[in-house]
Chains A and B, each alone.
Chain A
Amino acid sequence: MAETPGDKRREFLAPPTELVGGGEEMPKSGVSGEVAKPAERKLVEAAQNGDKKAFGELIRLHQKRLFRYIYGLVGSFDQAEDIVQDAFVRAYGAIKTFRAEYSFYPWISTIARNLAFNHVNREGRKESLDKIVEKGFDPVSTDLGPLDKLLSKEADSRFYRALMSLPVTYRSVFVLRHFEDMDYVQIASYLKIPPGTVDSRLFRARQMLMKELKDLL
């Protein structure tokens, strides 16, 4: 059966399967099974004992990576900023439920990802998505806004403009693969799509990016 833009939207907006409560409840600790480094573990334990400064250190350790990830999903600087802030506030509120032996980033990124997908769902991006699908790849028209200030080179800006011009279904797969190092099964499970669809979308996303960034390759 032919895939329609509406199908793509529903898939993208589907609540993440691996996350509990669609953003309302906290995800479980150790989703990735990654063990925490000793320094990070100490910070988490201190934060669990009410040390806000220690939690501040955790924020500074992970916020940049988290912001890049969420920006890649939602495509808006301001919204990404809000979501990252809200994710850390929520994480602090539930820090005592987190098991310190596990790495902190998978947990905070899961919280932020939930918020991001709920945000996209709430915003109702049907129109913009359909426009993108209809309009196709158009990196020139993409305005990065405040993000440009966080990009030191022109090539960085070109890369992000190209990335933001991808249809949201392709971009989300690409971001999960390249920014978060998820494998196909994890992406498929998260987006509730077959692994074969992950494969084909990633293939198309790469084709588009390579075509646009040919001179940089």
Chain B
Amino acid sequence: MEHSYFQDRLSAYHDNELPLQEKVVVEEHVRGCAECEKLLEEYAKLDQLVAEHGQLADSDYWEKAAQKIDRAIAAGGQTEIDHTLTHRRRSGLSWKLLAAAASVVIVGYIGINKDKFLTPDKQVPMIAAPSVPTSRDSEDYRKSQAESDQRQTQPNVKAKQDAGGATGKTENLPEEASGEIEKSNAAPRKELASKPAQKESTAPITKDLKGEVKDELAVPQSIDLGNSFQKSQPAPAPAMSALTSDSAESLKLRRASNEAAILDAQSPPPDTGLGLAHWTALRDSLLPLADAEHKAKNVLELGKTVISGYDKAARKPSRLAATTEPSPDSRLAEACYWIAKLSKQPEEKSQAIATLRQIGERANDSLKATVQNWIKELAAP
């Protein structure tokens, strides 16, 4: 064997850490090798040096340090090290995962139950954007729009402004309309709620539109159209009255009963006597909300999968299902049903049925069954 091999092994030999067989071989080599013998002596001297110079001197430092520890014990306190150690353990992966999962659950839950969490004053008017009448509006709507007075056109301008505001396209609005917008922005919500149907003043109608948009994320358009349709249709159906209610609580209750009626009947939704334009506008306003809720549910499901075992809320999906609010999907389904029923344009009809099918695919069992029944009925000659 090479001399360097024995040099490398001498440290372990000195510590008596070599296996017996190797120890014997190294011993034999050391007996005949002056260099290795000297190295072994140096190891022994180093041990001695550590023993001699590795000790710390006696000093009053030790008594002071001991007294400091005594005081810390007497105070029952913990040192800085203690806190940081605790912090280190708590900043492990499990805590980060828990925090992320909790965020997902909270965001998802709020997304689904936004009506509960957002007070009317806090709700953003972004949902007003879809309320702009589109080229898909029917003849009925155009007629009713033409019949309505100037006050009734101003809310639409307001709605356009809301829609344009989101994309920064407000510069083309007439000055008069802009003035109305400013007025409506300044009006308090309660005052508006108490005057939902004033005809003589333009401001209350605009305010009412704004107020209802804030109250009802899902149905801003219906308020606007509802005012115009109420004039031409003297006997509004229960669903319509719910939409035009000035009480958020009664509105929720009526919506809940409305959905219950829809789901329980397993038959066509009650004919509210509303025109195609109403349902089209309602559908347009509900589409983004229904999509958002669907996505939020997906995120929630993902969150529940990731954090199962961590978050109690994730183990209680019934909390989400327990809401008595009619879901955007159920209202969207109702709107699509009536569009398909009332529309005379095949393209619009088929589009409504396609949306119904989408809802049926992603809906829960009861709504799915209802929607399928409606589709069957619509498909029947």
B49 touches A213 (CB 8 A): yes
Q: Which of A1-9, A98-106, A129-137, A146-154 contacts B (4 or more CB under 8 A)?
A: A146-154
| Chain A positions within 8 Å of B62 at CB level | 60, 63-64
Whether the Cβ atoms of B79 and A86 lie closer than 8 Å is yes
Q: Measured between C-beta atoms, what is the minimum distance from B87 to chain A in Å?
A: 9
Tell whether A67 is near chain B: CB-to-CB under 8 Å: yes
B88 and A118 form a contact (CB under 8 A): yes
Which of B53, B66, B77, B82 has the most C-beta atoms of chain A within 10 angstroms of its own C-beta? Answer: B53
Within 8 A of A (CB), among B37-90: 42-43, 45-47, 49-50, 52-57, 59, 61-63, 65-66, 68-70, 72-74, 77-82, 84-86, 88-89
Task: Tell me if B's interface is mostly helix, strand, loop or mixed.
Answer: helix
Asked if A94 lies at the interface with its beta carbon under 8 angstroms from chain B, I say no
Q: Could you say which residues of chain A place their CB within 8 Å of the CB of B182?
A: none
Give 6 new A-B contacts, CB below 8 A, not counting A85-B65, A147-B56. A64-B56, A85-B72, A89-B69, A119-B85, A122-B88, A217-B49
State in angstroms the CA–CA spacing of A52 and B306 once bound together: 49
Instruction: Please determine whether B73 and A92 come into contact, CB atoms closer than 8 angstroms.
Output: yes
Q: Are B70 and A52 in contact (CB under 8 A)?
A: yes
Within 8 A of A (CB), among B1-60: 8, 11-12, 15, 17, 42-43, 45-47, 49-50, 52-57, 59
Number of interface residues of B (CB under 8 A): 41
Instruction: Give the Cβ gap from B13 to chain A, nearest Cβ, in Å.
Output: 10
Enumerate the 6 nearest inter-chain pairs by beta-carbon distance, A residue then B residue, closest first. A203-B11, A159-B53, A152-B57, A86-B79, A217-B45, A86-B81
Partner pick for B46 among A84, A85, A92, A206, CB 8 A cutoff: A206
B78 touches A86 (CB 8 A): yes
Binding site for A on B (CB under 8 A): 8, 11-12, 15, 17, 42-43, 45-47, 49-50, 52-57, 59, 61-63, 65-66, 68-70, 72-74, 77-82, 84-86, 88-89
Cα distance, A187 to B82, chains bound together (Å): 25
Docked complex Cα distance between A210 and B59 (Å) = 29
A68 touches B56 (CB 8 A): yes
In angstroms, Cα B54 to Cα A23, docked, is: 27
| A85-B79, A122-B84, A183-B17 known; A199-B70 Cβ under 8 A | no
Inter-subunit contact B12/A68 (CB<8 Å): no
Compute how far the CA of A106 lies from the CA of B348 in the bound complex, rounded to whole angstroms: 83
* Distance between Cα atoms of A52 and B70 in the complex (Å): 8
Known: A63-B69, A152-B57. A209 touches B85 (CB 8 A): no
Residue of A59, A119, A213 touching B81 (CB-CB under 8 A): A119
Residues of B within 8 A of A149 (CB): 59, 61
Q: How far is the CB of B328 from chain A (nearest CB, A)?
A: 48
Once the chains are docked, how many angstroms separate the CA of A152 from the CA of B55?
9
Q: Report yes or no: A24 in contact with B11, Cβ–Cβ below 8 A.
A: no
Q: How far is the CB of A94 from chain B (nearest CB, A)?
A: 12
A158 to chain B, nearest CB (A): 8
Closest to A203 in B: B11
Select from chain B the residue with minimum beta-carbon distance to A24.
Answer: B89
Residue of B with least CB distance to A177? B15
Q: Is A194 an interface residue (CB 8 A)?
A: no
Contact A88:B59 (CB < 8 A) given known A68-B54, A115-B85, A217-B45? no
Helix, strand, loop or mixed for chain A's interface? helix
Q: Taking the complex as formed, is A143 at the interface, i.e. its CB lies under 8 A from any CB of chain B?
A: no
Q: Which residues of A sit under 8 angstroms from B70, Cβ to Cβ?
A: 52, 56, 59
Return A194 CB to nearest CB of chain B, in Å: 13
**A18-B157 Cα distance, complex, nearest whole Å:** 76
**A166 interface residue (CB < 8 Å to B):** no
Q: Is the CB of A82 within 8 A of B53?
A: no
Contacts of B12 in A (CB 8 A): 184, 199, 202-203
B57 contact set on A, CB distance < 8 A: 150-152, 156
Interface centre among A88, A147, A153 (most CB of B within 10 A): A88
Cα–Cα distance between A78 and B50 once the two chains are bound (Å): 23
Between A and B, 8 residue pairs with Cβ closer than 8 Å are A59-B69, A59-B70, A60-B63, A82-B80, A85-B79, A88-B69, A203-B11, A216-B49
A155 in the interface (beta carbon within 8 A)? yes
Select from chain A the residue with minimum beta-carbon distance to B74.
Answer: A52
Q: Which residues of chain B have C-beta atoms less than 8 A from A82's C-beta?
A: 79-81
Q: Which chain A residues lie closer than 8 Å to B73 at the CB level?
A: 52, 55, 88-89, 92
Beyond A59-B70, A199-B12, A203-B11, whether A179 also contacts B54 by CB under 8 A is yes
Q: Is A22 an interface residue (CB 8 A)?
A: yes
Q: Which residue of chain A is the closest to B44 with respect to CB atoms?
A: A217
- Asked if residues B46 and A150 are in contact (CB atoms below 8 Å), the reply is no
A81 at interface, CB cutoff 8 A: yes
A73 within 8 A of B: no
Chain A 95-132 interface mask (CB, 8 Å, partner B; 1/0): 00000000000000000000100110110000000000
The closest CB in chain A to the CB of B90 belongs to: A24
